[in-house]
Amino acid sequence: MNAPLRALIVDDEPPARQALLRLLGDSPAMVVVVGTVSNGLEALDVLAHEPIDLLFLDIEMPALAGLELAARLQPAASPAVVFVTAWPQYAVAAFEVDAADYLLKPVDPSRLQHAIERARARLTMHESAQRIPSLQASLKILHARQATSKSSNIWVESGRGRQRLALDDVEWFAADGDYVQAHTSTRSYLMHGSLNQLESELPATRLLRIHRSTLVNVDAVTRVASVDGQLLLTTRSGATLQVGRRARARVRRRLG
Protein backbone atom coordinates (compact mmCIF):
# COMPACT_ATOMS: atom_id res chain seq x y z
CA MET A 1 0.00 0.00 0.00
CA ASN A 2 1.33 3.46 -0.89
CA ALA A 3 2.38 5.66 1.98
CA PRO A 4 0.58 9.04 2.32
CA LEU A 5 2.19 11.95 0.48
CA ARG A 6 3.16 14.87 2.70
CA ALA A 7 1.96 18.01 0.91
CA LEU A 8 2.49 21.75 1.26
CA ILE A 9 0.05 24.29 -0.26
CA VAL A 10 1.65 27.55 -1.46
CA ASP A 11 -0.81 30.27 -2.49
CA ASP A 12 -1.10 33.94 -1.54
CA GLU A 13 -4.93 33.85 -1.54
CA PRO A 14 -6.51 32.35 1.63
CA PRO A 15 -9.76 31.33 -0.16
CA ALA A 16 -7.72 29.40 -2.74
CA ARG A 17 -5.79 27.60 0.01
CA GLN A 18 -8.98 26.66 1.80
CA ALA A 19 -10.65 25.46 -1.41
CA LEU A 20 -7.71 23.15 -2.18
CA LEU A 21 -7.67 21.88 1.40
CA ARG A 22 -11.33 20.92 1.09
CA LEU A 23 -10.75 19.13 -2.20
CA LEU A 24 -7.82 17.21 -0.78
CA GLY A 25 -9.89 16.28 2.26
CA ASP A 26 -12.56 14.80 -0.01
CA SER A 27 -10.05 13.09 -2.30
CA PRO A 28 -9.50 9.31 -2.12
CA ALA A 29 -5.78 9.92 -2.70
CA MET A 30 -3.57 9.51 0.34
CA VAL A 31 -2.35 13.07 0.89
CA VAL A 32 -1.57 14.66 4.24
CA VAL A 33 -1.33 18.48 4.13
CA VAL A 34 1.38 19.45 6.60
CA GLY A 35 0.90 23.18 6.11
CA THR A 36 -0.14 26.14 3.97
CA VAL A 37 1.94 29.24 3.23
CA SER A 38 1.41 32.39 1.18
CA ASN A 39 4.60 32.69 -0.92
CA GLY A 40 7.74 30.97 -2.10
CA LEU A 41 10.01 32.31 0.64
CA GLU A 42 7.76 30.85 3.33
CA ALA A 43 7.71 27.58 1.39
CA LEU A 44 11.52 27.44 1.32
CA ASP A 45 11.56 27.83 5.10
CA VAL A 46 9.16 24.88 5.49
CA LEU A 47 11.15 22.77 3.01
CA ALA A 48 14.29 23.39 5.06
CA HIS A 49 12.72 21.87 8.16
CA GLU A 50 10.01 19.45 6.99
CA PRO A 51 10.08 16.45 4.65
CA ILE A 52 7.68 17.40 1.85
CA ASP A 53 6.71 15.04 -0.98
CA LEU A 54 4.34 17.27 -2.93
CA LEU A 55 4.06 21.02 -3.51
CA PHE A 56 0.78 22.55 -4.67
CA LEU A 57 2.18 25.79 -6.04
CA ASP A 58 0.52 28.97 -7.30
CA ILE A 59 2.21 30.99 -10.08
CA GLU A 60 1.56 34.63 -9.15
CA MET A 61 2.73 35.40 -5.59
CA PRO A 62 4.62 38.21 -3.85
CA ALA A 63 8.16 37.83 -2.46
CA LEU A 64 8.98 34.68 -4.45
CA ALA A 65 6.69 33.46 -7.23
CA GLY A 66 5.91 29.85 -8.02
CA LEU A 67 8.08 29.47 -11.11
CA GLU A 68 11.06 31.00 -9.32
CA LEU A 69 10.64 28.64 -6.39
CA ALA A 70 10.37 25.60 -8.65
CA ALA A 71 13.51 26.67 -10.52
CA ARG A 72 15.47 26.73 -7.26
CA LEU A 73 14.59 23.17 -6.33
CA GLN A 74 17.11 20.41 -6.91
CA PRO A 75 15.46 17.66 -9.02
CA ALA A 76 17.15 14.74 -7.29
CA ALA A 77 15.96 15.69 -3.81
CA SER A 78 12.92 17.87 -4.38
CA PRO A 79 9.20 17.35 -3.86
CA ALA A 80 7.01 16.81 -6.89
CA VAL A 81 5.42 20.10 -8.01
CA VAL A 82 1.82 20.55 -9.13
CA PHE A 83 1.06 24.11 -10.20
CA VAL A 84 -2.42 25.37 -9.28
CA THR A 85 -3.14 28.70 -10.95
CA ALA A 86 -5.66 30.87 -12.75
CA TRP A 87 -3.14 31.66 -15.52
CA PRO A 88 -3.09 29.20 -18.46
CA GLN A 89 -0.27 30.97 -20.31
CA TYR A 90 2.49 29.72 -18.00
CA ALA A 91 2.04 26.02 -18.80
CA VAL A 92 5.12 25.83 -21.01
CA ALA A 93 7.31 27.49 -18.37
CA ALA A 94 5.87 25.17 -15.71
CA PHE A 95 6.83 22.02 -17.58
CA GLU A 96 10.26 23.50 -18.28
CA VAL A 97 10.90 23.49 -14.51
CA ASP A 98 9.80 19.83 -14.42
CA ALA A 99 6.31 20.18 -12.99
CA ALA A 100 4.36 16.97 -12.48
CA ASP A 101 1.12 18.65 -13.56
CA TYR A 102 -0.58 22.00 -14.17
CA LEU A 103 -4.09 22.63 -12.82
CA LEU A 104 -6.30 25.62 -13.58
CA LYS A 105 -8.56 27.21 -10.98
CA PRO A 106 -11.25 26.36 -10.11
CA VAL A 107 -9.74 22.91 -9.68
CA ASP A 108 -11.68 19.94 -10.98
CA PRO A 109 -11.62 17.06 -8.43
CA SER A 110 -10.92 14.42 -11.07
CA ARG A 111 -8.02 16.45 -12.47
CA LEU A 112 -6.67 16.88 -8.95
CA GLN A 113 -6.76 13.12 -8.46
CA HIS A 114 -4.91 12.62 -11.73
CA ALA A 115 -2.29 15.21 -10.75
CA ILE A 116 -1.64 13.43 -7.45
CA GLU A 117 -1.18 10.14 -9.28
CA ARG A 118 1.31 11.75 -11.66
CA ALA A 119 3.16 13.30 -8.72
CA ARG A 120 3.38 9.91 -6.99
CA ALA A 121 4.75 8.37 -10.19
CA ARG A 122 7.28 11.19 -10.43
CA LEU A 123 8.46 10.56 -6.87
CA THR A 124 8.82 6.85 -7.58
CA MET A 125 11.14 7.67 -10.47
CA HIS A 126 13.22 10.27 -8.61
CA GLU A 127 16.10 7.92 -7.92
CA SER A 128 16.59 7.26 -11.61
CA ALA A 129 17.78 9.74 -14.22
CA GLN A 130 14.68 9.26 -16.35
CA ARG A 131 11.96 11.80 -16.98
CA ILE A 132 8.30 11.07 -17.52
CA PRO A 133 8.03 10.81 -21.32
CA SER A 134 4.52 12.26 -21.40
CA LEU A 135 5.79 15.54 -19.92
CA GLN A 136 8.39 15.91 -22.64
CA ALA A 137 5.74 15.16 -25.25
CA SER A 138 3.43 17.73 -23.66
CA LEU A 139 6.19 20.34 -23.74
CA LYS A 140 6.85 19.75 -27.45
CA ILE A 141 3.13 20.00 -28.21
CA LEU A 142 2.79 23.24 -26.25
CA HIS A 143 5.81 24.77 -28.02
CA ALA A 144 4.42 23.71 -31.39
CA ARG A 145 1.02 25.21 -30.62
CA GLN A 146 2.58 28.50 -29.58
CA ALA A 147 4.73 28.62 -32.70
CA THR A 148 1.90 27.87 -35.13
CA SER A 149 -1.18 29.45 -33.60
CA LYS A 150 0.04 32.85 -32.37
CA SER A 151 -0.27 35.78 -34.73
CA SER A 152 1.91 38.89 -34.89
CA ASN A 153 -0.97 40.95 -36.29
CA ILE A 154 -4.28 42.14 -34.90
CA TRP A 155 -7.51 43.42 -36.42
CA VAL A 156 -8.76 46.81 -35.21
CA GLU A 157 -11.73 49.03 -35.98
CA SER A 158 -11.25 52.04 -38.21
CA GLY A 159 -13.52 54.60 -39.81
CA ARG A 160 -13.72 52.48 -42.94
CA GLY A 161 -14.28 49.12 -41.28
CA ARG A 162 -11.58 46.82 -39.95
CA GLN A 163 -7.86 47.01 -40.66
CA ARG A 164 -4.84 44.86 -39.92
CA LEU A 165 -2.33 46.32 -37.44
CA ALA A 166 1.15 44.92 -36.77
CA LEU A 167 1.80 43.99 -33.16
CA ASP A 168 5.17 45.76 -33.44
CA ASP A 169 3.30 49.06 -33.78
CA VAL A 170 1.27 48.61 -30.57
CA GLU A 171 2.79 49.85 -27.31
CA TRP A 172 0.07 48.67 -24.95
CA PHE A 173 -3.50 47.39 -24.74
CA ALA A 174 -6.07 48.67 -22.25
CA ALA A 175 -9.44 47.20 -21.28
CA ASP A 176 -12.38 49.45 -22.18
CA GLY A 177 -15.65 47.85 -21.10
CA ASP A 178 -16.53 45.16 -23.64
CA TYR A 179 -13.69 46.36 -25.88
CA VAL A 180 -9.91 46.76 -25.86
CA GLN A 181 -7.96 49.86 -26.88
CA ALA A 182 -4.74 49.23 -28.82
CA HIS A 183 -2.40 52.18 -28.28
CA THR A 184 0.32 53.01 -30.81
CA SER A 185 2.75 55.94 -30.61
CA THR A 186 0.36 58.15 -32.59
CA ARG A 187 -3.20 57.02 -31.84
CA SER A 188 -5.41 54.34 -30.33
CA TYR A 189 -7.67 51.78 -32.01
CA LEU A 190 -10.73 49.97 -30.73
CA MET A 191 -10.93 46.17 -30.77
CA HIS A 192 -13.72 43.75 -29.99
CA GLY A 193 -13.09 41.23 -27.20
CA SER A 194 -11.27 41.11 -23.86
CA LEU A 195 -7.68 41.34 -22.67
CA ASN A 196 -7.75 37.68 -21.62
CA GLN A 197 -8.82 36.64 -25.10
CA LEU A 198 -6.19 38.86 -26.69
CA GLU A 199 -3.47 37.52 -24.39
CA SER A 200 -4.33 33.95 -25.36
CA GLU A 201 -4.18 34.72 -29.08
CA LEU A 202 -0.90 36.66 -29.22
CA PRO A 203 2.68 35.44 -28.57
CA ALA A 204 3.38 35.25 -24.84
CA THR A 205 6.99 36.27 -25.46
CA ARG A 206 5.85 39.64 -26.80
CA LEU A 207 3.33 40.66 -24.14
CA LEU A 208 3.32 41.27 -20.40
CA ARG A 209 0.27 41.76 -18.15
CA ILE A 210 1.14 44.67 -15.85
CA HIS A 211 -2.36 45.25 -14.50
CA ARG A 212 -5.70 43.52 -14.73
CA SER A 213 -6.67 46.15 -17.30
CA THR A 214 -3.32 46.68 -19.06
CA LEU A 215 -1.23 44.49 -21.35
CA VAL A 216 2.09 45.92 -22.57
CA ASN A 217 4.27 45.10 -25.57
CA VAL A 218 7.63 44.37 -23.90
CA ASP A 219 9.53 45.60 -26.97
CA ALA A 220 7.92 49.03 -26.54
CA VAL A 221 9.15 49.52 -22.95
CA THR A 222 12.16 51.84 -22.68
CA ARG A 223 12.32 52.46 -18.92
CA VAL A 224 11.32 50.80 -15.64
CA ALA A 225 11.38 52.96 -12.51
CA SER A 226 10.15 53.00 -8.91
CA VAL A 227 8.60 56.36 -8.05
CA ASP A 228 6.96 57.12 -4.69
CA GLY A 229 6.29 53.46 -4.04
CA GLN A 230 4.86 52.83 -7.52
CA LEU A 231 6.46 50.82 -10.30
CA LEU A 232 6.18 52.73 -13.59
CA LEU A 233 6.96 51.81 -17.18
CA THR A 234 7.80 54.29 -19.93
CA THR A 235 7.10 53.39 -23.55
CA ARG A 236 9.02 54.54 -26.63
CA SER A 237 6.44 57.27 -27.29
CA GLY A 238 6.89 58.64 -23.75
CA ALA A 239 3.67 57.25 -22.26
CA THR A 240 3.80 56.26 -18.56
CA LEU A 241 2.05 53.08 -17.40
CA GLN A 242 1.52 52.08 -13.77
CA VAL A 243 2.18 48.49 -12.77
CA GLY A 244 -0.40 46.84 -10.50
CA ARG A 245 0.72 45.66 -7.07
CA ARG A 246 0.20 41.98 -7.82
CA ALA A 247 2.12 42.26 -11.10
CA ARG A 248 5.24 43.98 -9.78
CA ALA A 249 7.27 40.83 -9.11
CA ARG A 250 6.38 39.45 -12.54
CA VAL A 251 7.35 42.70 -14.26
CA ARG A 252 10.69 42.91 -12.43
CA ARG A 253 11.49 39.32 -13.39
CA ARG A 254 10.68 39.96 -17.02
CA LEU A 255 12.08 43.45 -17.51
CA GLY A 256 14.72 43.65 -14.77
pLDDT in tens, 14-39: 999 999 999 998 888 789 999 999 99
Query: Residue 238: which pLDDT band, with cuts at 50, 70 and 90?
Result: very high
Task: Name the percent of the chain lying above pLDDT 90.
Answer: 48
| pLDDT at res. 127 | 43
What per-residue confidence (pLDDT) applies to 214? 95
Residue 201 predicted with pLDDT over 70: yes
Mean per-residue pLDDT for 248-252? 89
The chain-wide mean pLDDT, for the chain, equals 85
- Which range of 132-136, 142-146, 192-196 scores highest in mean pLDDT? It is 192-196
Q: What is the pLDDT of residue 75?
A: 60
pTM for the model stands at 0.52
What are the tens digits of pLDDT across the range 158-196? 777 788 888 889 999 999 988 999 999 999 999 888 888
HSE (side-chain half, CA atoms, 13 Å) at 163: 10
pLDDT in tens, 55-80: 999 998 887 888 888 888 866 567 99
Position 241 pLDDT exceeds 90: yes
Taking the C-alpha atoms of residue 83 and residue 26, their distance in angstroms, rounded to an integer, is 19
Q: How distant, in Å, are the alpha carbons of 149, 190, 203 from that of 152? A: 10, 17, 7
Domains annotated on the chain, with CATH: 5-146 (3.40.50.2300), 153-255 (2.40.50.1020)
Inform me whether the pLDDT recorded for 246 exceeds 50.
Answer: yes
